């Protein structure tokens, strides 16, 4: 898969760094003001990040949508700021096609859609027209209501079947199969037991033949196992991401880039033996 000017052969685990342009994302240190974007991005690049994921709307449980024009404005400024200093692959974290267009025109190379192309009917068409990779995530409900008593009879089967539908929809819209990445959506309409099963059996989704992205970083599922503040969740995050990577995850979306660059080097070494 080509993302921007970089080739990704998925022979190793890739690191996607989170750059939040929001004022209410659940992990305060991840919040970045526009004037600090270049510094933050350069820091991640120096730490070894492979992709920078730029988002301007919090999608934590219970969050409210932001004004679409404000989201697009922030994305435009941030992407342009990063492009001034680097050709690093940039992903736009949005479910709105208009925001995706703004970000891609500003120099982004990828779309990360938490809705799996469901929230905006034009998103699939936009990704196809720009011929960029798209991450399609599984979600039950919306960020506002997704954690209101979610339930699955068989989470692996149901998420797998939803991925099949997503992939079919994407291809029909003109997105190339080689441009599709899937994300099981840890914490997005899932109970603790669902999250654990998805992480522990992520290899189930390898049959779909698509790269797998996973986002576990510092999420509240960790504190349901061992109560702790979000500031204390680095080590559990690394443990979960290590398991996910060894089970077949290809891209790890994280707040803490350098810690995961080092951890995934060890995973790559083991997996390459």
Residue 151 contacts residue 141 (beta carbons within 8 Å) = no
- C-alpha separations of 264 from 11, 44, 53 in Å: 12, 15, 18
Annotated catalytic residues are: 219, 253
Q: Which long-range contacts (CB under 8 A, 24 or more apart) does 174-180 make?
A: 174/124, 174/125, 174/128, 174/129, 175/124, 175/127, 175/128, 175/134, 176/131, 177/209, 177/210, 178/1, 179/1, 179/127, 179/131, 179/132, 179/133, 179/134, 180/133, 180/134, 180/136, 180/210
Coil/strand/helix, residue 58: coil
Question: In the chain, how many H helices and how many E strands?
Answer: 9, 10
Tell me how far apart the alpha carbons of residues 273 and 138 are, in angstroms, rounded to a whole number.
Answer: 32
């Amino acid at each position: 898969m080509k993302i921007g000017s970089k080739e990704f052969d998925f022979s190793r685990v890739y690191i996607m760094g989170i750059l939040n342009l929001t004022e209410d994302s659940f992990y305060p240190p991840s919040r970045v003001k526009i004037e600090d974007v270049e510094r933050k991005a350069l820091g991640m690049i120096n730490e070894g990040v492979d992709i920078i994921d730029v988002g301007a709307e919090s999608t934590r449980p219970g969050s409210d949508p932001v004004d679409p024009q404000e989201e697009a404005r922030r994305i435009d400024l941030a992407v342009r700021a990063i492009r001034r200093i680097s050709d690093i692959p940039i992903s736009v974290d949005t479910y709105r096609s208009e925001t995706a267009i703004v970000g891609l025109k500003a120099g982004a190379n990828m779309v990360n859609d938490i809705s799996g192309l469901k929230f905006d009917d034009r998103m699939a068409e936009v990704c196809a027209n720009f011929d960029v990779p798209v991450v399609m995530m599984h979600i039950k409900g919306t960020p506002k209501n997704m954690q209101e008593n979610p339930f699955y009879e068989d989470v692996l089967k149901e998420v797998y079947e939803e991925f099949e539908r997503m992939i079919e929809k994407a291809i029909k819209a003109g997105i190339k199969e080689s441009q599709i990445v899937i994300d099981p959506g840890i914490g997005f309409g899932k109970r603790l037991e669902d999250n654990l099963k998805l992480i522990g059996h992520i290899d189930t989704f390898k049959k779909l033949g698509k790269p797998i992205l996973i986002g576990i970083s510092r999420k509240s599922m960790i504190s349901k196992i061992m109560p702790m503040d979000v500031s204390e969740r680095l080590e559990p995050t690394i443990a979960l991401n290590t398991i996910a990577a060894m089970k077949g995850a290809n891209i790890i979306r994280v707040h803490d880039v350098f810690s995961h660059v080092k951890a995934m080097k060890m995973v790559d070494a083991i997996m390459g033996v």
